[in-house]
Amino acid sequence: MFEEGSTVKSMKLRPLFLVALLVGGFWYVTTHWSPGASRAALSHFSNHFSLPGVHGSSSPLDLREAEAAPEYDAEEQNNIAVYKRVLPSVVNITSTTLVFNFFYGTVPQQGQGSGFILDKAGHVLTNFHVVEGANRGIEVQLSNKHRYPAKVVGTDKVHDLALLQVDAPGLQPVTLSDSADLAVGQKVYAIGNPFGLSGTMTRGIISSIRSIRNQDGAPIEDAIQTDAAINPGNSGGPLLNSRGEVIGINTMIASNGADQSSGIGFAIPINTAKAVLSDLTRYGRVKRPSLGIVSYAIGPDLASQMGLAADSGVLIQRVIAGGAAERAGLHGGNQQAYVGNTPIMLGGDLIVGIDGQEVTDPQDISAIMDKHQAGDTVSVTVLRGQRKLTVKLVLGEARDATT
How many Å apart are CA 271 and CA 181, to the nearest integer?
11
Question: Looking at the DSSP assignment, which residues form a beta bridge with residue 220?
Answer: 212
Ranges of H-type helices in 102-229: 128-131
Catalytic residue among 156, 160, 279, 370: 160
How many Å apart are CA 378 and CA 350, to the nearest integer?
16
290 belongs to the catalytic site: no
C-beta of residue 148 within 8 angstroms of C-beta of residue 167? yes
Catalytic residue among 89, 235, 290, 295: 235
Catalytic residue among 129, 227, 295, 370: 129
331 belongs to the catalytic site: no
Question: Looking at the DSSP assignment, which residues form a beta bridge with residue 136?
Answer: none
Helix, strand and coil percent figures for the chain, each rounded to 5: 25, 35, 40
370 belongs to the catalytic site: no
Residue 163 burial by Cβ neighbours in a 10 Å radius (0-12, 13-18, 19+): buried
Closest-CA residue to 382 (of 288, 313, 286): 313
How many Å apart are CA 114 and CA 150, to the nearest integer?
13
The string of DSSP letters for 58-89 reads: SS-------SSPPPP-HHHHHHHHHHHHHGGG
Question: Looking at the DSSP assignment, which residues form a beta bridge with residue 95?
Answer: 111, 138
How many Å apart are CA 220 and CA 126, to the nearest integer?
15
Active-site positions?
129, 160, 235
